[in-house]
Amino acid sequence: MRSLGTRADHSVFRVQRLIEQECNGRPCFVLAEPVVQENGAGIDWYVEIDDQITQLTSLSSDVADYHRRRLQLDIDRIREAADAYETRGGSSGRGHANTLRVATTFPGEGSIWIAGDISSPTAPIIITGWGYEAYKAERGISEITKYAALPRTETAVVQPAVPNDYPGEKTSVAMAWRWPLLGLLGLALLLASGFLLIPDCGLRMPGGSVLHGWRGENHCVAEAPKDIPIAIPRDVAKEPPKDVARDFAQTALKKTGITQNDGETTVTLVWSNMNDLDIQARCPDGTLVKINAPFCGAHVDYDDNGAGSGAYHLVKNPVEHLTWGSARLAKGKYTLYVEHYDNPASTTRNETDFTVILQQGAHYKQVKGRSKYSRKVEVATFDVP
């Protein structure tokens, strides 16, 4: 799939607010939140609904048609609002128009889900894959794909493939010979470019022969004697791999005066706005380590953006640190959480990206996540045998 619009157009909280404004305060449909997987291999879609979720394509035809019509009405309303914004002009109007069109673009019916009772006329409709379109159009395009396309973006208009027995206008067969010719020209250009890039001193080919550049070996000013092979020593010392998580934690803790030594067990929380986040640890005995609540040998020894004695002391690059020191931990399972406690600065966003670094002796593990206001999220677990 190909992403459409700008990064701001994919902010689910901003887009959902715009949609609810056009639907008189009610959610016409629910946009799932896109979260990029840690390995970058794909996108996971999340929605805060406890009810059972059913894909539209698995419903019976009459029930699916009913929800298609519901979604069609809402999509039409949002598209009309986008047209109105564009008519007003100005950068804000055009931005809102594009955001609404991106929100109503998705690959097809496989991205539509119904939450709760599928027979209810008010069952929430959930859309995943919004803001993305398929690279190629599918033959026999469905109605849901038609209204999901962006009409004012040339690349977003989905064109159905033309079957062989289609009676209308077809591409002339005389055009077919051009594609192989273009392919041959491209290959020739690639080979010519590669030859020009060959160095004068040449490349050693399989079998021992040397292929020199287009100017010839006479222009080689630094070629080694041909009877003396150039040896590459195998025992050249390599720079040891960097421990990214350890370096990140030590850099963040530099301002605190805290030093982490091998043999300790610590947790470092780092984020980059003036919200108040807290690191917490659930011990095997069930107790919860947090600010001013030391348990099972652990305590929080540094806390930025906390209220402290009643007044917030806010910084833009805050750090929080929880430590067991070098003490031996009790056996069992430990669970780490990040709690989004407060937004003391009124200009900050509700959600906050954070990084947690767990140190266990000389081993460091880095975990990234996102918090929401007044929510607690689990970020990692570890066992002590």
**pLDDT-based confidence at residue 158 (cuts at 50, 70, 90):** very low
Average pLDDT in the chain: 76
Cα dihedral 195→197→201→207 (10° resolution): -50
pLDDT of 222 over the 60 cut: no
Residue 121: pLDDT band (50, 70, 90) is: confident
How much of the chain exceeds pLDDT 70, in percent? 71
How far is 6 from 94, CA to CA, in rounded Å?
13
pLDDT in tens, 60-113: 998 899 899 989 988 988 899 889 888 888 888 888 888 889 888 988 888 999
Instruction: With a cut of 90, say whether residue 265 has pLDDT above it.
Output: yes
SS (H, E, C) the chain: CEECCCCHHHCHHHHHHHHHHHCCCCCCCEECEEEECCCCCCEEEECCCCCCEEEHHHCCHHHHHHHHHHHHHHHHHHHHHHHHHHHHCHHHHHHHHHHHHHHCCCCCHHHEEEECCCCCCCCCEEECCCCEECCCCCCCCCHHHHHHCCCCCHHHCCCCCCCCCCCCCCCCHHHCCHHHHHHHHHHHHHHHHHHHHCCCCCEECCCCCEECCCCCHHHCCCCCCCCCCCCCCCCCCCCCCCCHHHHHHHHHHHHHCCCCCCCCEEEEEEECCCCEEEEEEECCCCCEEECCECECCEEEEEECCCCCCCCCCCCCCCEEEEEEECCCCCCEEEEEEEEEEECCCCCCCCCEEEEEEEEECCEEEEEEEEECCCCEEEEEEEEEC
Q: Is the pLDDT of residue 279 over 90?
A: yes
Q: How confident is the model at residue 364 (pLDDT cuts 50, 70, 90)?
A: very high
Q: What is the pLDDT of residue 182?
A: 77
- Highest mean pLDDT range out of 122-126, 194-198, 242-246? 122-126
**pLDDT at position 172:** 38
Judge contact between 314 and 323, C-beta under 8 A: no
CB of 329 closer than 8 Å to CB of 296: yes
Average confidence (pLDDT) over 121-139: 76
Give φ, ψ of 354 to 5 degrees: -140, 165
Pairing state of beta strands 125-127 and 30-31? parallel
Mean pLDDT of 263-270: 95
368 or 228: which carries more pLDDT confidence? 368
Total-model pTM: 0.40
